[in-house]
Structure 1
């Protein structure tokens, strides 16, 4: 099935006020506070900041309200009735930003800070691309490596896609990461909102892939974010292998079933290759347990197996439907 292509960009100068930062948070008000402080230091600032609260039980509401009069831009606080995970939070946040009329939506978790000129750096690329990923500094100030390409038949990231940039200043990508995705409303209109049913994991990978099918997508050699939370890692030299959690391990395998439906919908599903990718994903989580967390527990193992079983059930569910495109009558961007 051939997909219509949205032009890569246009000649219209980037207007910072047309951008909305979308932040998803859950019980990490101390990290959220650091991110909002970084927005105060931004120059230029976005037109809006949307904070989606996944039903936090800490003082997140009070922290957000303490920034309302000093953020220097319009703050929209959306508190959800239940924890919908990162996937549900970003789906709700993008829906809000879209309804605000935002032309650009910049997505991020609460455990980053925006560099002061981050929006200007992303805006420099806005006339050329409509799905853009900037770069991040890790917690210790080192360059964070993100796997910006996936093997579609296998449904897994390519571990050692080149990390360096040539004179062009960008590399083509076919994936996405909600820790820094910068996306145009025209693309959101065509591919729809992120699928909240993922809850966590693979949601941004699939969303970035969907975007790359309709417009040229790029990771650009611009450092715009800094991670503010230390994560246990196994340093492999070229890249890091991060620690995970038992909940993540479940969804990593379970959500393969959702991925299958998206690939199948767009004519990209190859059963044998995808099964190899699932086996590789399972093996990767065993390695993560052994070499990063240095333990293989009964709970960790059982969550992997349960994820596999539930993923297969989802994959066999013929009633499953992917997220629809948004209606063309939605508000137009500035």
Structure 2
């Protein structure tokens, strides 16, 4: 069984160092470790050259994919998973540089895969994501289709007490995707740039196969909570991509409801820049416009 791991990194060298060591010390290493460097400027490229040269590895090929510019998480994961399929991977793990798998995560994954009797019906298996030693429930979800909108309900902590549970949405943190299903539904949309790209991709994968989470596989997600609070440059991509997702999946009523909700939020905001952000997201989605918007560059303050 060929298992490839894909890591996407951008200017977080200290996190990447810890992440790389976790893969090197796995009790069952991935056959290939594909590191996508999203045009980092913090010495990541030099570190990767030195790390490969200083680690004697016979059972894990290190492949560095260097992007010419920062393509965001979406572009990075697209390039990495595309490479994994080209080299013949059967399963592809995906995670950012701030996700550190437990040292037996890949060994347990292989065991679970071998024990699943209907493996030809499983599109992905997930690890338990923890933050601060506790389950980060926002990473695994169940899709709930309401009359006016879709909600992704977080899998409750009680489910993590079981040997496994089924879900139909995941974040790109500690997920093994089966190659045959990646080829069937396609890869992540690179034009999303960042945010909600994994939600849309898991929607496609759940439509053709089951997604199973195994809580005994653990990945420590060292997220910065500030990235998920308030309105930031990332908000533009989150809302735009939600609308693009609803358009692709034919959810016209959800698209309209989301649009009206965004306009209402913008009108209620005391910051006119926020209203402009929502309008820009709506316009971009209406035009089917993906990619990076120069008005909302990474790190930009609103």
One fold, TM greater than 0.5? yes
Aligned position for 1:68: 52
CA distance in structure 1 between the aligned counterparts of 2:270 and 2:41, rounded to whole angstroms: 29
Matched, 1:248 2:234: yes
Aligned position for 1:214: 208
Contiguous gaps of at least 5 residues in structure 1: 1-14, 234-241, 287-295, 321-334
Query: Structure 1's 270 and 251: CA in aligned 2 closer, same or farther, altered over 3 A?
Result: same
Aligned position for 2:256: 275
- Residue 131 of structure 1 aligns to a residue whose secondary structure is strand
CA distance in structure 2 between the aligned counterparts of 1:245 and 1:76, rounded to whole angstroms: 36
Aligned position for 1:123: 110
CA distance in structure 2 between the aligned counterparts of 1:222 and 1:197, rounded to whole angstroms: 34
**Conserved 8 A contact 2:128-2:214:** yes
More displaced 10-residue stretch of structure 1: 178-187 or 215-224: 215-224
- Residue 68 of structure 1 aligns to a residue whose secondary structure is helix
- Residue 21 of structure 1 aligns to a residue whose secondary structure is strand
Matched, 1:187 2:181: yes
The Cα of 1:313 is off from its aligned counterpart by 4.1
Aligned with 2:133 (options 134, 138, 141): 141
More displaced 10-residue stretch of structure 1: 305-314 or 176-185: 305-314
CA distance in structure 2 between the aligned counterparts of 1:144 and 1:162, rounded to whole angstroms: 10
Matched, 1:87 2:74: yes
CA distance in structure 2 between the aligned counterparts of 1:71 and 1:21, rounded to whole angstroms: 18
1:203-262 deviation line (CA, Å, top 9, x unaligned): 0001001000001112222232112344249xxxxxxxx426611111111212311232
**Conserved 8 A contact 2:259-2:282:** no
Q: TM-score, normalization: structure 1?
A: 0.74
Contiguous gaps of at least 5 residues in structure 2: 117-121, 291-302
Higher helix content, 1 or 2: 2
The Cα of 1:99 is off from its aligned counterpart by 0.6
Higher strand content, 1 or 2: 2
Aligned position for 2:243: 257
Q: How many residues align?
A: 278
CA RMSD of aligned residues (A): 2.9
Aligned position for 2:36: 52
- Residue 256 of structure 1 aligns to a residue whose secondary structure is helix
**Conserved 8 A contact 2:99-2:222:** yes
1:296-316 deviation line (CA, Å, top 9, x unaligned): 883xx6246424433344235
More displaced 10-residue stretch of structure 1: 194-203 or 64-73: 64-73
Query: Structure 1's 257 and 222: CA in aligned 2 closer, same or farther, altered over 3 A?
Result: same
CA distance in structure 1 between the aligned counterparts of 2:194 and 2:104, rounded to whole angstroms: 30
**Conserved 8 A contact 1:36-1:71:** no
